[in-house]
Amino acid sequence: MLNHPVLAACGGKEGGLATDTFLTNPRRCSFDPATIQCTRGDAPNCLTASELHTVKAYYDGPRNPRTGALIYPGWALGSELGWSGRQGTTTPSFEGIYTWVFGLNYDPRTFDFDHDMATVDAVLAPSVNFLSTDLSRFVTHGGKLLMYHGTADPIVATQDTINYYERIISEQRSTLDAVQSFARLFPVPGMGHCSGGNGPNAFDALSPLVEWVEHGNAPEQIIATKYVNNNASLGVQMARRICAYLKQPHYLGTGDANTAANYVCFDDGRNRVAAELPPREYLAPLVINASAPDVLNLRTEGGKVTVVLTVANGSDTFNQWVPSDVMAEGAVAVSSSLSADGSTYVAHFNRKDLHGFVGGNPDGENVDLMITGVLQHNGIKSLFATSATVKVTR
C-alpha cells in the first residue's frame, strides 16, 4: 500500500520516468507519509497513527533517544516493498549479532538505543565497524574498487554506501575525480538487496572491473536488464544504463524507453544530495593500522620482530581502547609499549616464534602478517584484527 503513493509523489521527479515502477534517485524526492494517515479508523489504503510512527522511523533511521543522534541512515523511498520481512516478529534481523553481545537470554524488546547501542559498539566496533576511508594501501598495490548498491535495498540502507563513498572524498581531502581513479560507485535504480526489485537488476559487474584493472579503462556505465518477474526464461522487460556516481540514467526523450540505448549517463547538478551523517562513534570509533619491517627475515632465530600499531586520523586512541594479548600469526608479543598520546602501540615478538609463518607466497613476495588482540573499552572486552604487509625471506 505504501509504495504506490510514494511512486505517485516521486515518479518522474527524481530523474526517472513517471511510468517507472521504481525510483531512480529517491534522494531527490520528498514524501510525507502523514498525507495518507487514516482519518476515520483503520483502512487498507491509509496508515494508522502507530503505522505512521513506524513508517517515519524507517525513513529517518534509528536514533539515540537521549541525544537524538542518528545511529544509522534511514531506508530510502521506494524500498517499501521489502519491509515486510522485518514486520510481524519480535526477533530482530541478524539476531546473532545481539546474542553475541548480550547472550542467549537477550530480550530484543528491551533494547535501549542509548546504552545498549554503546555496548554493541564497544564489543563489535573494532572488527565490524571497520569503516576506514584510507584506502592508500589498496591503491598503492594497483587496486580498483567497483561498488554497486540498489536504490530500493530494504536491508542495507543505500545512503550508508553513498555516505562511505562521500567520506572517502571528504576525509582524505580528495576530489570525486581523484577517487574515481580507483573507486567507483554504481547506484542501481530500483534494485533490492543485491538483486531483485522492480528495476533492472541483472548485470555483469566483473567484466568492467577486469577491463579496468587489466587495461586501465574505467567503467562509466553498465547495462542492466530487468526480466519479466525477474525470471530470465520469461524474456526481457527492459534494459537501462546504470551510471557511475554522480551521474544517473537520463532518457533522451525519443525511442523505446525500455531500451538502454535511449538513455545517457548524465549529472544535471542535482544528484549530490546532502545527508546527515551518524557521529563517528557509530561509524568507525577505532581504526587500527599495522606496520612491520618490509622484509621479515626468518632465516635466523635470534632477535626480535617489531610491529607498530597506529590509529587513523580522527580515530579514538589506545588510551580509550586499551590493547592486550597482542599476537602476530598466533605468536604472543613478549613486550609492548604505548605512546603517551595513545596513538601508537609497539609490540615485540621473538623471531623464532614466527618461524611457522608461511604466508602462502614465495619468498620475497608481499604477504599479510595478521595481527590480533583484545581491546578493553569502558569495562568491555572486544577483539580486533589488522595486518601488515611484509616480504618473508627464509
Confidence category of residue 82, pLDDT binned at 50, 70, 90: very high
For 187, the 3-state DSSP assignment is strand
Grid coordinates given for 33: 507519509
**Structure confidence at residue 381 (pLDDT):** 92
Q: Is 16 left (phi over 0), alpha (psi -120 to 50) or beta?
A: beta
Rounded Cα distance between 21 and 6, Å, is: 10
Looking at the DSSP bridge assignments, the partners of residue 243 are 221
Grid coordinates given for 115: 546504552
31-55 per-position pLDDT tens digit: 999 999 999 889 999 999 999 999 9
Strand ranges of the sheet holding 288-291, from the earlier edge strand across to the other edge: 288-291, 304-311, 344-350, 335-338
Confidence category of residue 324, pLDDT binned at 50, 70, 90: very high
How distant, in Å, are the alpha carbons of 13, 39, 61, 344, 355 from that of 351?
Answer: 64, 75, 49, 21, 7
Mean pLDDT of 83-103: 81
Distance from the Cα of residue 322 to its chain's centroid = 26
107-128 per-position pLDDT tens digit: 888 999 999 999 999 998 888 8
Mean pLDDT of 124-153: 90
**Structure confidence at residue 283 (pLDDT):** 85
Using alpha carbons only, what angle is made at residue 312 by residues 148 and 126, rounded to the nearest 5 degrees?
70
**Structure confidence at residue 292 (pLDDT):** 93
Domains in the chain: ranges and CATH: 286-393 (2.60.40.10)
What mean pLDDT value characterizes the chain? Answer: 92
Mean pLDDT of 172-182: 95
Residue 5 has pLDDT above 90, yes or no: yes
Residue 130 has pLDDT above 70, yes or no: no
Using alpha carbons only, what angle is made at residue 266 by residues 263 and 267, rounded to the nearest 5 degrees?
155
**Structure confidence at residue 88 (pLDDT):** 64
Confidence category of residue 365, pLDDT binned at 50, 70, 90: confident
